[in-house]
Chains A and B, each alone.
Chain A
């Protein structure tokens, strides 16, 4: 990185800084507008975090990334599901309307531990 920055013209560096800054601002803007962003990774055979705590009535964005293969996220109690495809972030926007504990599971067959790939969303008052 040192060698690269050493040869990088000052203008290009400034453009890069501006670009990164703008991207960061975009993310913050989305988060501010839609609520907290919770990043969740999926891999054989677990979600991290496995327990997601959110507040009733407060918007959140669940952002999923797969670290290995196709997985699924299905939370029947909250009526949300998505495929989690490797190589791209997948988002679900959620405004929980009821407090409680809602299990979720992987619904794309992913291997010997598939049946145990589960987690929980806790919605507090």
Chain B
């Protein structure tokens, strides 16, 4: 089933779609943290080091603008999740390390100090995540925050775009510690389902992960990789991809060859942005708010 974000939220039965549309009163945000829940922000596909003026003439400024916009959010999110491709790939390991170090330093400008990272294939696909681990730590992990169990899966350090049996066993063991009705959020870089395999928009053994997740009744996946919003369901599991922060990519199979969407000087930064996720206590779904690079609600 293909549904857009608005349809998805309508189907989920949440009147807070108006919140997503950007028409909510600022006071509404007062409910979004503290006792009633919390916010986190998803930033993705920043591709630090990418250089092509025809695609993004502000390649060194876009990330900084987005960080300034996140810093202006009120209230502030509890944490930031970067869902991979922090850097644009390079065949030079020294340059890879330099780009990741620069990215870490720039991300340090966020007011929120709880920053969670995971790699994309551009960060980790050439060295099985060696440099990423040196600078950012583990490529897979889980943590709990205010009643939600978060799982970060690595489906990029293996260049075939697989999770691997060993990590699947780890996932299985991690899940078994949770009640079947627990609120579970999974972060991945690649989609776990076959969104567009011919465009490399899938995870080869993603179905195995989804099979493991299926017995848990409240699972939501947030991912990156495709540089655009996409909202799907597989069974009862919902999947939300995020906009990128360097260049947009075309809709799946909408063009013969997958290529970055050229810069539109009439609409600069079009297609780029980040997302705020509102996790309310006692609610199964999440309210998503999409922002442009400069913090404008979309």
Among A91-111, those with CB < 8 Å from B are 107-111
Q: Which residues of chain B come closer than 8 Å to A110, judged between CB atoms?
A: 126, 159
Q: Does B90 lie within 8 Å of A109, measured CB to CB? A: no
Q: Does A70 lie within 8 Å of B159, measured CB to CB? A: yes
Provide a sorted-by-A list of 12 A–B residue pairs whose CB atoms are within 8 angstroms.
A44-B91, A70-B159, A72-B160, A108-B159, A108-B161, A109-B89, A109-B125, A109-B161, A111-B91, A111-B126, A114-B89, A115-B258
Known: A72-B160, A76-B198, A83-B160. A112 touches B91 (CB 8 A): yes
Is B278's beta carbon under 8 Å from chain A? no
Q: Which residues of chain A come closer than 8 Å to B159, judged between CB atoms?
A: 70, 108-110
The chain B residue sitting closest to A70, CB to CB, is B159
Q: Does B160 lie within 8 Å of A111, measured CB to CB? A: no
Q: Mark B90-109, 1 if CB is under 8 A from A, else 0.
A: 11000000000000000000
Q: What separation, in Å, do the CA atoms of A11 and B287 have in the docked complex?
A: 81
Is B78's beta carbon under 8 Å from chain A? no
In the assembled complex, the CB of B225 is this many whole angstroms from the nearest CB of chain A, namely: 11
Q: Which residues of chain A come closer than 8 Å to B160, judged between CB atoms?
A: 70, 72, 83, 108
Is B45's beta carbon under 8 Å from chain A? no
Q: Which residues of chain B come closer than 8 Å to A44, judged between CB atoms?
A: 91
B-side interface residues, number (CB < 8 Å)? 14
Which residues in A have some Cβ–Cβ distance to B below 8 Å? Answer: 44, 70, 72, 74, 76, 83, 107-112, 114-115
In the assembled complex, the CB of A78 is this many whole angstroms from the nearest CB of chain B, namely: 12
The chain B residue sitting closest to A83, CB to CB, is B160
- Summarize B's interface: helix, strand, loop or mixed: loop
Q: Which residues of chain A come closer than 8 Å to B258, judged between CB atoms?
A: 115
Is B200's beta carbon under 8 Å from chain A? yes
Q: What separation, in Å, do the CA atoms of A107 and B200 have in the docked complex?
A: 7
Q: What separation, in Å, do the CA atoms of A109 and B156 have in the docked complex?
A: 9
Q: What separation, in Å, do the CA atoms of A103 and B77 have in the docked complex?
A: 45
Q: What separation, in Å, do the CA atoms of A74 and B198 have in the docked complex?
A: 8
Q: Which residues of chain A come closer than 8 Å to B126, judged between CB atoms?
A: 109-111
Is B121's beta carbon under 8 Å from chain A? yes
Q: What separation, in Å, do the CA atoms of A108 and B90 have in the docked complex?
A: 16
> A109-B89, A112-B90 provided; 14 other pairs, C-beta below 8 A?
A76-B197, A76-B198, A107-B200, A108-B160, A109-B125, A109-B126, A109-B156, A109-B161, A110-B126, A110-B159, A111-B91, A112-B89, A112-B91, A114-B89
Q: What separation, in Å, do the CA atoms of A72 and B197 have in the docked complex?
A: 13
Q: Does A109 lie within 8 Å of B91, measured CB to CB? A: no
Among B177-214, those with CB < 8 Å from A are 197-198, 200
Q: What separation, in Å, do the CA atoms of A91 and B5 have in the docked complex?
A: 44
Q: What separation, in Å, do the CA atoms of A114 and B199 have in the docked complex?
A: 12
- Give which listed residue, B121, B197, B198, contacts A109 with CB less than 8 A: B121
The chain A residue sitting closest to B122, CB to CB, is A109
Q: Which residues of chain A come closer than 8 Å to B121, judged between CB atoms?
A: 109
Please indicate which of the listed interface residues B89, B161, B258 has the most CB atoms of chain A within 10 Å of its own CB.
B89
Q: What separation, in Å, do the CA atoms of A110 and B121 have in the docked complex?
A: 9
Q: Which residues of chain A come closer than 8 Å to B198, judged between CB atoms?
A: 74, 76
Q: Which 3 A-B pairs have the closest CB atoms?
A: A109-B125, A76-B198, A109-B159
Q: Mark B118-144, 1 if CB is under 8 A from A, else 0.
A: 000100011000000000000000000
Q: What separation, in Å, do the CA atoms of A111 and B89 have in the docked complex?
A: 7
In the assembled complex, the CB of A64 is this many whole angstroms from the nearest CB of chain B, namely: 15
In the assembled complex, the CB of A35 is this many whole angstroms from the nearest CB of chain B, namely: 26
